[in-house]
Amino acid sequence: MEDRFKTLLRSQVFQEIRRCEDDDNILSKVVPILGDVILPELGFSKDDSAMLKASVSVVFHAAANIKFSTGLKDVMAVNCGGTRNMIEWAKLLPNLKFDLVPVDQVVNLIIAAAVRLSVENKSKMMVYNYSSTEHPFLCSESQSALLEAYAKNPMDQLFWYPSVMFIRNTKVFAALDFFLHFLPALITDTVGFILGKERRMLSIYNKLQRAIAATKEIQRTYFSISTNNTKDLYNLLQEDDQILFNFNIRDVNIRKYFQDLHYGIKFYVLKEKHEDLKNARGNFER
């Protein structure tokens, strides 16, 4: 755990914090704790539990199992049982100002909710949903936004020209998946095997299939989610805070959203270099 923690602190996630001149040891305030939300008292050791009870006054609960392929029982154990265990443990904290179980992990909303609950000291637990119900992203708009984002920052290794299609018919989807995904992956790995190179396209394809299977039913279902608490919270913020901690879904620019998302994947997840972007754009535009 210590090695993973040190690697995390060295990652680009904390890059801006490391640039702070006020405190060279600011990240030393971050302390890793070993635990498990499905266990009583979250599986903390006695020493860790004592330290947390003496030091913690605010709790953000963001643990969740979103791997629906593991089975509903395991998902419920973490998402429901883990939440219950977190609440019960939080009640043991003598310095606790409030307990919060956020429905979503939108940072600005969580921060604003934390401030409101700590100031108003509400005994009732509030739920803040962050949803696009009132400002939905249309498939057609998402399609063009995705392609535009890729064209602006294409990947260094381009397999073929990217395209996006939303298919309702399961048989048509299966046929397109076979010819456009499975066969190219199989051919690429077969050629790689013959040439003695790494074979990974079928592995990527299988991961994609598991992700599709896990989210298939959710994607087919329309959810109308109430966001009244979230809107009330936003309206309570001062104008400056609304700008700094904006979580108004109507202000979301889907094109900029996908551009930022793609930018993060390219440079922070895949760790491609900015100096190679010109060549990548040249390859993409051929």
Q: Is residue 148 part of a domain?
A: no
Domain carrying residue 21: 1-32
- The percentage of residues in the chain with a pLDDT greater than 70, rounded to a whole number, is 89
Is pLDDT of 283 > 80? Answer: yes
| Cβ neighbours for 226, distance < 8 A, ≥ 6 positions apart | 129, 133
Q: Is residue 2 part of a domain?
A: yes
Is pLDDT of 133 > 80? Answer: no
- Reported residue count of the chain is 286
Q: Is residue 207 part of a domain?
A: no
Tally of domains in the chain: 1
Q: Is residue 9 part of a domain?
A: yes
pLDDT band at residue 127, thresholds of 50, 70 and 90?
confident
- Listing DSSP states for 68-131 in one string gives GGG-HHHHHIIIIIHHHHHHHHHTT-TT--EEE--SS--HHHHHHHHHHHHHHT-SSPP-----
- Beta carbons of 146 and 258 less than 8 angstroms apart: yes
82-118 per-position pLDDT tens digit: 888 888 888 787 766 543 323 333 677 878 877 777 7
Q: Is residue 104 part of a domain?
A: no
Q: Which two tokens stand for residue 135?
A: 């400002």
pTM: 0.56
- The percentage of residues in the chain with a pLDDT greater than 90, rounded to a whole number, is 8
